[in-house]
Amino acid sequence: MNGSFALHETLEVHEIAAFKTVCMTKSKLMQALVSDPGLKQILEHDVQLSTRQLEELNGLLSKSQQGG
């Protein structure tokens, strides 16, 4: 991507980031409630993956705001 988004694209990236944040928060909270080690591991993996994805989305938004 060239780093320059149209307004609707920027808003969509914000929406994706907001949704991903809610999903990650839910996974973090569920870790405290589950007792199954396998499920805890899946939730931990989801949190780690979501963290990386949010960092990437934030990077895209930063580049877009800088204009390239």
Q: Does any domain span residue 20?
A: yes
pLDDT by residue (tens digit) across 13-64? 999 999 999 999 999 999 999 999 999 999 999 999 999 999 999 999 888 8
What pLDDT sits at residue 38?
97
Residue 1 has pLDDT above 50, yes or no: no
Which residues constitute the domain of residue 23?
Answer: 7-61
27-32, long-range: CB < 8 A, 24+ apart: none
Q: Does any domain span residue 42?
A: yes
Please count the structural domains in the chain.
1
Cα–Cα distances in Å, from 49 out to 3, 15, 58, 61, 66?
Answer: 23, 18, 14, 19, 26
Closest by CA to 46, choosing from 67, 21, 66, 15, is 21
pLDDT by residue (tens digit) across 51-64? 999 999 999 988 88
Residue 68 has pLDDT above 60, yes or no: no
> Residue 20 has which token pair?
């991903």
Q: Does any domain span residue 67?
A: no
Tokens 């007792």 found at: 35
